[in-house]
Every structure is written in structure tokens, then in C-alpha cells.
């Protein structure tokens, strides 16, 4: 979770930079997504953004472009090229791992503040991990649990998240986020 201020600044600067970029290339792109992506990949990313714009710009469009080029250049050992499906699967796994890492490195105070506003994805994943017992950070002593309310909260949680069918954290998160083909990396069928 980014502090509210910096996250909004990064989002605003990135949107403004993307709008400026595409307005300058309006004739070339002509509402074609493939052409827009190609134009983005033509941007030189070898020079650091700080050298060009200084420390004032908080846009992440440049860094996203650099990351996209690095991903396009990936080739597995012994193969000449990597297919689109393999790249998306790798992105999927890395993203879920980063999400799980971020969850356990945020305190309950930040999650509670987000729940007041409906909660961020990170907050909901944190609750899922705590429910599955996959997070030591939020273990509650039995003496503090008021047992009569427990079935109510469990039912509420299960209604909201539909209990995952895997004990594997990565597979549970992938199912929750609907980015899994219902197969588990542990070779379990999640159907």
C-alpha cells in the first residue's frame, strides 16, 4: 500500500504522460491498439528518466516501458523464443508472489484504514491469507476470540470469498483473482 498522496501523484503523472504521448502520435496510431503498443516500444529507455526530467516527474510509464522491453527479450534456455502464454504465466506467478509479499509487510493499521473506504485488493488478500492461516503476522490468541460471533464472521467471509479449494497460497490467490485455469501448481484439481 502506497501512502495515499504518492499513489495519487504517481497515477496522475502517469495518466498525463500517457495522454501527452498518444496525442503527439495521434496520426500514426489512429485508434489501433497494436500501433499504440508498437509506438510505446520504440521509445528510448536506455537513458534514465531522472536524467531527462529530473526528480519532479513521478510517472511510471517510462519504467513500465523498460520492463516491457525486458520481458519481450526473455528467452528460456535451449529455446529460440518464448510464447505469449508462457510470458503471461510467468507474469501471473511473479505478480501473485509480489502480492503475497506486500500483504505480509503491511500492518493491520493500514489495512483497517483501507477497510473504512471499502478496502484495497491487498486488504482483501490479507484477510484471505489470515483466514487460511497462511500469515503468522495476524495470528490471534484464542483468549481474545469471542466464540459466539465466530460462525457469523466465518459465514460472512466465506460468502464474500467462496472458500478456496487449495491449501496452496499461490493457487488460492490465483483462484480468488480469477487468473487460474483451475489447476494447482501442486498438481491438485481445483474444480
**Cell 500517457 belongs to residue:** 18
CA–CA distances in Å: residue 110 to residues 10, 13, 167: 19, 24, 26
C-alpha cell at 13: 503523472
The answer to whether residues 114 and 120 touch, using CB atoms and an 8 Å cutoff, is: yes
Segments in the chain below pLDDT 70: 1-5, 49-57, 80, 135-191
Per-residue pLDDT at 142: 46
Domain ranges of the chain: 1-73, 80-191
What grid cell was written down for 138? 495476524
Alpha-helical (H) ranges within the chain are 4-24, 26-29, 33-42, 49-53, 61-73, 84-104, 108-116, 121-131, 150-161, 169-176
Biggest alpha carbon–alpha carbon distance for the chain: 67
pTM greater than the 0.75 cutoff: no
Q: The C-alpha cell of 14 is what?
A: 502517469
Tens-place pLDDT, residues 103-112: 877 777 777 7
Residues forming a β-bridge with 189: 183
Rounded to the nearest angstrom, the gap between the alpha carbon of residue 55 and the centroid of all alpha carbons in its chain is: 25
Amino acid at each position: 500500500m502506497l501512502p495515499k498522496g504518492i499513489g495519487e501523484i504517481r497515477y496522475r503523472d502517469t495518466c498525463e504522460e500517457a495522454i501527452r504521448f498518444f496525442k503527439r502520435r495521434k496520426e500514426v496510431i489512429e485508434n489501433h491498439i497494436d500501433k499504440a503498443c508498437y509506438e510505446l516500444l520504440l521509445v528510448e529507455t536506455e537513458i534514465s528518466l531522472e536524467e531527462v526530467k529530473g526528480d519532479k516527474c513521478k510517472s511510471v510509464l517510462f519504467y513500465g516501458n523498460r520492463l516491457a522491453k525486458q520481458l519481450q527479450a526473455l528467452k528460456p534456455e535451449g529455446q529460440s523464443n518464448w510464447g505469449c502464454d508462457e510470458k503471461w504465466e510467468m507474469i501471473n506467478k511473479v505478480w501473485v508472489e509480489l502480492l503475497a509479499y506486500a500483504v505480509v509487510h503491511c500492518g493491520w493499521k493500514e489495512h483497517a484504514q483501507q477497510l473504512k473506504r471499502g478496502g484495497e485488493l491487498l486488504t482483501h488478500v490479507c484477510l484471505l491469507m489470515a483466514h487460511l492461516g497462511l500469515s503468522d503476522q495476524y495470528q490471534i490468541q484464542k483468549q481474545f476470540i469471542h466464540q459466539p460471533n465466530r460462525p457469523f464472521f466465518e459465514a460472512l467471509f466465506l460468502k464474500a470469498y467462496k472458500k478456496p479449494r487449495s491449501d496452496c497460497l499461490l493457487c488460492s490467490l490465483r483462484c480468488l483473482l480469477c487468473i487460474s485455469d483451475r489447476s494447482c501448481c501442486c498438481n491438485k484439481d481445483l474444480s
